Every structure is written in C-alpha cells, then in structure tokens.
Amino acid sequence: SYLFSTIAEKISAFEKKHPEKQIIKLGIGDVTMPLPQACIKAFHRGVDEMAEEATFRGYGPEQGYGFLRERIAETGFIQQGADIHADEIFISDGAKCDTGNLQELFDTNITVAIPDPVYPVYLDTNIMAGRSGELKDQRYERIVYLDATQENGFVPKLPDTKVDLIYLCFPNNPTGATITTEELKKWVDYAMDNKALIIYDAAYEAFIQDKDLPRSIYEIEGAQKVAIESRSFSKTAGFTGTRCAYTVVPKACMAYDHAGNTHSLHDMWKRRQSTKFNGVSYPVQMAAAAACSDEGRQEIQGLVSYYLKNAEIIRSQMQSLGLECTGGENSPYIWVASDMDSWGFFDLLLEKAGVVTTPGVGFGKCGQGYIRISAFNHREKVMDAISRIKKALA
Ligand code: MLT
C-alpha cells in the first residue's frame, strides 16, 4: 500500500493497543502551525463574496484565476530572474496530484528514471500506469533507478542510458539534500541532448536558505524547453488541509512522439486538466494569492524559520547521539543513518519512545538503514520527542 497509509495503519494499531501512550508524530510532513493571518483574511473575504449574489462565483477557470497565476508568476519566478508567465502556471489541489498525474500524458513504453530514495508517488503512479515491468530484488525491471547515496551526497548521477522522463526533487524528499546550479545544469543539458523531459518537484523550495542554491529549475538556461516544475502552498503557507499547489508547464516545453515530431506539453496538460479537473475553490485561491502578498510572504518566512529551527534541533541532537544526518539545513526533513533495518528502527522508536518517524526503505531500496524525521511539529513536541528518543536509545 502507499507508504504513508501503511504508517497511518501502524500508528492506529499501536494507539489501539496502548491507549495510555501519547505519541508524537514526526512522520508524514504535515504542518502544525495555523494559516498565516493574511491568508485567513483573504479566505474569509472569498467566502463572504460567495454569500452575495453580486459577487458569487460558479465554475472558475480550470487553470486557476488570473489574479493567482499572475501573483505566482511575479513573486515566485519573475522577481527571481526566471522568465515564467502567468499563462504557463496551472493551479491545482496538490503537488502530489500533479506529479502523480503528469505521467498520464506519455506512452506506456517510455523509459522513466526515478531517484532512489524519493517521494513514492513518482514510482507508484508509473507502476499503476503499467510502465514498471516485474519486481525483482526490490527493483522494477523497466525503471531506471537513480541511486542517491551517502557516497554521492544524495545527488544521483546522470543515467548511463537514454531515458525519456526524469523525476527530480530538490530539496529532496526524503533526504533533505540540495542540488547546486552546476549539478542541475548537467540534468538540463542531459534532457536537451536526449530529448528527455524533467519533472522537477520543488515543493520544498521555500526552505532553501543558502542563497547560492537554485530554487527553481528555470534558473538554469534552457530549462523552459525540457522541464515542468511543481510547487505547493502546503509546506509553506500551511495548506496541507486547505489544498492549493501549482505546476509550471512552459509554452516552450515539448514532448516527442515515436517519429520525433514535437508536441506542446502545455497544450497537452491543459487538455488533461480541463477534461479531468475543475479547479480549486475560489476562497482557497484567494487565500493562496494572499500567501504571495508582502504580508503573506513575511508570515511564511516566519513559519519556515520556525520549522527550520526544529530541524536544526533534531539534526544536532541526533548527531550528538553519534548518528550521521543529512538534510535539515535547507529542508524540513532530517535523514538519519543507523546500523538497523529501517522498519526495525521505526518500530523501536514507536514502541520505546512513542515517536513516529518514516522508515527510509519506504522511499526506495537505497533508503534501507535510514529513517526520515520531519521537523513539522510544535517546538515542545519536538523537544519531548528528542528526549524520548535519547532515553530509548540509551
Ligand atoms: C511527506 O511526508 O513525504 C509528504 O508530506 C507527503 C506528501 O506531501 O504527500
């Protein structure tokens, strides 16, 4: 089953068996801080407009309201030097849905390259679509795996063979690793040379603190022709329950058919979305637009700093136990190495400390031996979890 469903079932079984135990969840990356005030105010305004005949709105544009698309283009891309226009931005209800649905545009015979470990949605949706082949030794025979290991700093090297579709996720979920501009350029060049397409999941870009690191793949020259980028309001403005995200499909981005003819991915994605999706609710888009205002962005910076402080605490405390850690500096996830099997470590922390983490192997074979700790929780809960973990491992 889906990794986070399996974990949710385990937690619920544990809670049933030990109703007296208070568990602390540092597993799924679910935010705990309320929506920024700017978003709440706009959300209310949106609801009030729906209550009046004069301002009521029915179906909205499937691609999202212009006011939101324009704000995103301006504040998320143009101000950072990336040449992305409002009509290249598709508003959706989640980066999970977008990164999961994009593969639908392609033939089942294409070759797909997927990092290992990585957010399980990319692999799972390609398996469901019939692109994976058989499972042998924890690997699907038709998938090209891009191993991310301690040795390569959790940034995979380019595939040895030609692939058609590449998934990349930076800051990475689950390892928290980041990619430099030089490294990312190699992927863009590879895609251009091989007529490949990159799906770049930048759901965690707001956590990048290091000014030298790229926040968008469109900071790389030529990327508009070979890359689609997904981002989300979930982890920044706290929209995991509110639901709003977006995917950039530049007009210059092309897919190739068997005969080598080009097709506009923008047109294909527009066709797909307008057929299968009816857009995000008006009040939610109002709230999302407020997240892009000066006030909203300032509040988001506060939220990001809060979670990053949690990450710093988790990372330094895990390191003080002699455990090797990656991530947590430009990412809300800390990737912790152990000498145990991932699920064994997960079970130990759940049973002895009452702390939920995510077993690394759930993100791929290369994640074996690791657990991922999420920094999304209240500070007191994080501090409590740390002291419980220390006691459990003593
Ligand atoms: C995660 O914990 O990896 C994410 O929260 C899952 C998601 O965003 O769907």
Confidence of residue 121 (pLDDT cuts 50, 70, 90): very high
pLDDT of residue 35: 98
Ligand 1 pocket, residue 96 CB under 6 Å = yes
Ligand 1 pocket, residue 64 CB under 6 Å = no
pLDDT of residue 149: 98
CA 29 – ligand 1 centroid, Å: 5
Nearest CA to ligand 1 atom 5: 29
CA 173 – ligand 1 centroid, Å: 8
Ligand 1: which atom is nearest the Cα of residue 203? 8
Ligand 1: which atom is nearest the Cα of residue 119? 3
Q: pLDDT tens for residues 265-301?
A: 999 999 999 999 999 999 999 999 999 999 999 999 9
Confidence of residue 343 (pLDDT cuts 50, 70, 90): very high
Q: Minimal CA–CA distance to 198: which of 161, 226, 159?
A: 226
Q: pLDDT tens for residues 361-371?
A: 999 999 999 99
> Residue 266's Cα: distance from chain center in Å?
21
Burial class (CB in 10 A: 0-12, 13-18, 19+), 349: buried
Question: What is the CA angle 141-146-151, rounded to 5?
Answer: 130
Average pLDDT, the chain: 97
Nearest CA to ligand 1 atom 9: 96
Q: If you average pLDDT over residues 44-60, what whole number do you get? A: 98
Helix ranges, the chain (H): 3-17, 37-50, 66-72, 95-101, 121-128, 181-194, 223-226, 265-276, 282-291, 294-320, 342-348, 379-393
Q: If you average pLDDT over residues 174-183, what whole number do you get? A: 98
pLDDT of residue 388: 98
Confidence of residue 305 (pLDDT cuts 50, 70, 90): very high
Cα–Cα distance for residue pair 97/100, rounded to 1 Å = 5
Q: What are phi and psi of 257, to 5 degrees?
A: -95, -175
CA 232 – ligand 1 centroid, Å: 11
CA 31 – ligand 1 centroid, Å: 10
pLDDT of residue 15: 95
Q: If you average pLDDT over residues 228-244, what whole number do you get? A: 98
pLDDT of residue 20: 94
pLDDT of residue 342: 98
Whether the Cβ atoms of residue 163 and residue 193 lie closer than 8 Å to each other: no
pLDDT of residue 82: 92
CA 100 – ligand 1 centroid, Å: 13
More confident residue, 81 or 350: 350
Q: pLDDT tens for residues 123-138?
A: 999 999 999 999 999 9
Q: Minimal CA–CA distance to 255: which of 226, 276, 229?
A: 226
Confidence of residue 196 (pLDDT cuts 50, 70, 90): very high
Ligand 1 pocket, residue 173 CB under 6 Å = yes
Rounded to whole angstroms, what are the CA distances from 260 to 31, 103, 135?
Answer: 44, 19, 31
pLDDT of residue 108: 96
Dihedral of the CA atoms 339, 344, 345, 348 (nearest 10)? Answer: -130
Please state the pTM of the whole predicted model. Answer: 0.97
**Percent of the chain at pLDDT above 90?**
98
More confident residue, 62 or 334: 334
pLDDT of residue 4: 95
Ligand 1 pocket, residue 29 CB under 6 Å = yes
Q: If you average pLDDT over residues 56-63, what whole number do you get? A: 95
Cα–Cα distance for residue pair 43/391, rounded to 1 Å = 44
Ligand 1: which atom is nearest the Cα of residue 28? 2
Q: If you average pLDDT over residues 204-230, what whole number do you get? A: 97
| Number of other CB atoms surrounding residue 251 within 10 Å | 13
